[in-house]
Amino acid sequence: MNSLNANTKAMPVSNGVSRVVAACLALVLAPQALAGFDLDRSVMSDAYWKIWNGSAQAKIDADIERYRKADATVAVDAGDGAEVTVEQLDHAFHFGASIFNFGQLGGKDRNARYQALWDTLFNSATVPFYWRAYEPRPGTVRFDASEKDSERFWNTCREPERQPHWRRPPPGPIIDFLRARRTRIRIHGHPLVWANAFQHLPPWLWFDLCPAAEKAALEKASGVKFPRPGDQERFSIAEQKRDGNKRLLDSAWKKVYGKLTEEEVAALVPTFIKNLETKYESHVRDIAKRFGSRVDSWDVVNESSLDFEQFGGKAVRGRPFDASRYGRFCCSLMPADYAFKAFVWARKYLPDTAMLSINDFNMSEAYLAQVRDLRANGAKVSMIGSQMHLMNPQSSVTLAKGGGSGTLNPDGIAKRFALLSRAGLPIHLSEITITAPDRTPKGEMVQAIILHNLYRAWFAVEKMDGITWWNVVDGCGLPGEPSLSGLFTREMRPKAAYSAMDDLINRAWKTKVTVTAKDGKVSFRGFRGRYRLTWKGTDGVSRETFAEVK
């Protein structure tokens, strides 16, 4: 558990321009920073606090001390007895959020406050790579921003939520922004492969890759009429979400799967199946070529465990294609063994240094079995993603009363992550939604207390590598997602949930101590991450060195 840090040579402290500018930016762009989080216990029931009792909290504290801290010894050019200030600069643990509303909040001040969070709060960002928005037309790839992705466009857009590229900014400018931050930011791409027929898969895969003769043969054999390109393109993502009858391709495939076997479909559309797999691989290859050296980790495949169960608990089956039902959400035709092949392609085209993650909401034994089966077949799965979405405001009300899912109390959390930890991989709690019951101060405090206790319990898990909040701003989810699940209001007013998170990340879990030098060294115990040590030398000149506590 303990580790010796790496350090650099001490040097005189400089009041350089870059540090002054950084401090000014923090003050100007992030005025939402608050003094601390005043937890109001009265908004939660006695039954809630009986669950989150002193004994449970003490166990969490002990595990945080055990798993998130380390001892370090650093060489310093200081005389015996000199006082050395040890200040943590950033975390090894990844505290993140999706950055899906980059430049889209309707005003320069709002956008600046939003972006400043990756200097003042978050050290990880999930960047969107949804294929449908990334390549809306074949060969027309949104690497970089166009006029419709500009701040000017969004600042004058009357109904931003109805735009097909809402929450889907191009990745290039976001990655440029993140890599220029003064803090180290983990850039996480999401997702490469996903069997979601209208959030991820572009409809032109069917329209352009399937020959007309094969389309006609499939329609004749199944009796199902597939939509034409104009039918699908009339509807934005938002309109499709509101009316399930307009999920035209999804609906057609569901009908086909109800009438024909996999073998029958494969015999009718062999060229399409071949073209589909070729296009999937080239999609992964092209993203890797453009962004592979600039993105640290990837959700290689998203939400595939239900298909793994459906396909008999095997990652490699030797079937012609995967008739993905994607649980209850949608229906699509995918390349055979698509989850396994996604990792094959990712390993082939991405750098060896890339963290390759699988991501899912299904926290059952089947998910663990899928991870093990993928690895047994040679897939490089280096991280396991876990989601937790409290989408319904009533769920927070129920929790506040001491009820709700047994997976969201201290014992349930420990059991869930003990299961996932059996994979032996780092865990990324990749998508977190906690919804306020209402817009009142009491409702916002309920959201904040749930966040406070869950984050503490998650941070205490040994294998936990990071926690990523999903929708940072109220009203910025997809249609159908809750409007009160942000850390900020739509106007970028900080809510109690922001204060709770900031208090944990920047105060409770950040080490700052003063220690005494002896024999040219100082020793301390602190949260893992990067540190600056400052002291005065025997000549009275201020000095500093930097160290990594691992």
Residue 133 lies in a domain: yes
Total domains in the fold of the chain = 1
Residue 17 banded pLDDT, cuts 50, 70, 90: very low
pTM greater than 0.75 (yes/no):
yes
Q: Read off the CATH number of the domain in which 298 is found.
A: 3.20.20.80
Place 329 in a pLDDT band, splitting at 50, 70 and 90: low
335's CB contacts (< 8 A; 6+ apart) are 273, 276, 277, 280, 321, 322, 341
In a domain, 223, yes or no: yes
**What's the pLDDT band for 508 if we cut at 50, 70, 90?**
very high
Place of tokens 């650099």: 8
User: In a 3-state reduction of DSSP, which class is residue 54?
Assistant: helix
Determine, yes or no, domain membership for 117: yes
Q: With respect to residue 449, please indicate whether it lies within any of the assigned structural domains.
A: yes
DSSP state of 167: T
Backbone angles phi, psi at 385, to 5 degrees: -95, 145
What residues contact 64, with CB distance under 8 A and at least 6 apart?
A: 456, 459, 460, 509
> Residue 473 sits in which domain range?
39-63+90-510
Length of the chain: 550
More reliable by pLDDT, 537 or 219:
219
Is 550 inside a domain boundary?
Answer: no
Mean pLDDT of 61-88: 97
In a domain, 251, yes or no: yes
d(CA 501, CA 498): 5
| Strands, E assignment, 449-539 | 464-469, 512-516, 521-527, 529-536
pLDDT of residue 13: 36
Q: What is the DSSP-derived secondary structure letter of residue 508?
A: I
The reported pLDDT for the residue numbered 232 is 52
Q: What is the mean pLDDT of residues 431-456?
A: 98
Count of other CB atoms within 10 angstroms of residue 117: 22
Q: Tell me: pLDDT of 16 over 70.
A: no
Quote the CA–CA distance of 104 and 98 in Å, as a whole number: 13
In a domain, 123, yes or no: yes
User: What count of other Cβ atoms lies within 10 Å of the Cβ of residue 313?
Assistant: 12
| Mean of pLDDT over the chain | 90
Asked, for residue 23, whether it belongs to a domain, the answer is no
Give CA angle at 526 (522, 531), nearest 5°: 70
| pLDDT level of residue 383 (50, 70, 90 thresholds) | very high
For 461-502, the pLDDT digits (tens) are 999 999 999 999 999 998 778 899 999 999 999 999 999 999
| Residue 493: both structure tokens together | 């007013």
Q: How confident is the model at residue 359 (pLDDT cuts 50, 70, 90)?
A: very high
pLDDT above 50 (res 243): no
Q: Would the pLDDT of 344 be above 60?
A: yes
User: Please, are residues 388 and 432 in contact by the beta-carbon 8 Å criterion?
Assistant: yes
Rounded Cα gap, residues 72 and 3, in angstroms: 6
How much of the chain, in percent, has pLDDT values that exceed 90?
80
Position 324 confidence tier, pLDDT thresholds 50, 70, 90? confident
CA distance 223 to 245: 18
CA within 13 Å, CB half, 429: 27
